[in-house]
Amino acid sequence: MKAYVLFSGGKDSSLTAIMLEKFFEVELVTCSFGIIPTAEISKDLAKIIGFPHRVINPGTDILEKACDMAIQDGFLNNAINFLHRQSLLKIVSDRDSDDVFLIADGIRRDDRVPNLTKSEIQSFEDKNNILYASPLSGFGRKTINEMVRLNLIIEEGESSVLQKCDYEEELREMLNRKIGVEDANTLFPKSHKQSRVVKRIYDL
């Protein structure tokens, strides 16, 4: 069975793919709106960990809507949840076969957003005849760090410095353009450490 793994180039989504490869035919999927070159960066990072990769673009209107939500709310949670759901739905609408497949993301036990409730998951699976999983959601931060240590070399840094390729970066860029860097900054946490894969450690 195919598994499409939402891929940001960071340690969580990379580990998710590695965890699933024993069970599924994994393909990485990066959501890119074309605002910043996340499509190209994600292609290179996917090669590093050795999985096929594709880019999906849910459309600029979706990113615009997420911006409006963030500005209206004064915080990001709903906007991030919206973008996450739209990415999942775009994978479904891009399907080229009726076969059941798995969509997986890198959500962890400690993550507050994005998240889906159990009933949202049930409805998403049933409506679309697909499976959905968050393989890391049963694991805490320290356990994930241990699993990452054995399988990946990563670099970590502030998100402002370390370019990854998730929709959050494009949301930030569009907010910068819409309301200015200063106001956009108030919506994001002051310090936000990101990770990016540098190399995969293969089994001996």
Give the footprint of a copy of itself on this chain (CB under 8 A): 1, 18-19, 22-24, 102, 107, 109, 118, 121-122, 125, 131-140, 142-143, 146-147, 150-151, 203
**Closest distance of CB 131 from a copy of itself, Å:** 5
Nearer to a copy of itself, 111 or 173 (CB): 111
> For residue 60, what are the contacts with CB-CB under 8 A and spacing of at least 6?
33, 34, 35
Count of other CB atoms within 10 angstroms of residue 190: 7
**Closest distance of CB 130 from a copy of itself, Å:** 10
Q: How far is CA 188 from CA 32, 36, 62, 129, 161, in A?
A: 20, 18, 19, 36, 14
Count of other CB atoms within 10 angstroms of residue 198: 11
Q: How far is CA 134 from CA 36, 74, 116, in A?
A: 27, 28, 10
**Closest distance of CB 175 from a copy of itself, Å:** 30
**Closest distance of CB 144 from a copy of itself, Å:** 9
Instruction: Determine whether 203 is exposed, middle or buried from the number of CB atoms within 10 Å of its CB (0-12, 13-18, 19+).
Output: exposed
Nearer to a copy of itself, 38 or 195 (CB): 195
Nearer to a copy of itself, 142 or 190 (CB): 142
Nearer to a copy of itself, 16 or 159 (CB): 16
> For residue 193, what are the contacts with CB-CB under 8 A and spacing of at least 6?
156, 157, 158, 159
> For residue 153, what are the contacts with CB-CB under 8 A and spacing of at least 6?
197, 198, 199, 200, 201
**Closest distance of CB 148 from a copy of itself, Å:** 9
Nearer to a copy of itself, 143 or 160 (CB): 143
**Closest distance of CB 190 from a copy of itself, Å:** 24
Helix (H, G, I), strand (E, B) or coil at 202: coil
Nearer to a copy of itself, 13 or 38 (CB): 13
